[in-house]
Amino acid sequence: MYRCVAAAAAVLFLVAPASAQQRQFPQNALRGALQFVEPPEILLNGQPARLAPGARIRGQNNMLVLSGALSGSKLLVHYTVDIGALVKDVWILTPEEAAKKPWPTNPGEAESWSFDSVAQTWTKP
């Protein structure tokens, strides 16, 4: 009995700090509206695009989500693309993350703005 209680308490202590931490997005992550059509086909900001083979989609809880489970949904995300212009990494934003503005929506903005990786904020020139 005590082992079960101890194991449950250990899980709570491990999970609680992880959920309270801020996710760190890479500097090349862009913000966009992503609609899952028929995986690997997607609409990115209303334009047809494709998920890369092995693309990783992380939900608001930072756990991996299967693209098939998101068919038909339209979400605000941060994403990265690979050298072939395929969407490689996707993070479904929490309301707190979505409230952080400005965030670049195209590579030109990302090149001309400055990024603070610790605070996870962008500054326009």
Q: Is 80 exceeded by the pLDDT of residue 102?
A: yes
Residue type for position 12: L
What is the spatial distance between Cα 119 and Cα 26, in angstroms, rounded to a whole number? 12
Question: Sign (positive/negative) of CA torsion 42, 44, 47, 53?
Answer: negative
Residue 91 lies in a domain: yes
Domain boundaries, position 116: 25-123
| Paired tokens of 82 | 């690979």
Q: Is residue 8 part of a domain?
A: no
| Within-domain flag for 13 | no
Asked if 73 contacts 36 with a C-beta cutoff of 8 angstroms, the reply is yes
pLDDT tens by residue, 17-71: 444 578 999 999 999 999 999 889 999 999 999 999 999 999 999 999 999 999 9
Min mean pLDDT across 17-26, 75-84, 85-94, 115-124 is at: 17-26
pTM (2 d.p.): 0.81
pLDDT value, residue 61: 96
Please tell me the predicted confidence (pLDDT) of residue 39: 87
What total number of domains does the chain contain?
1
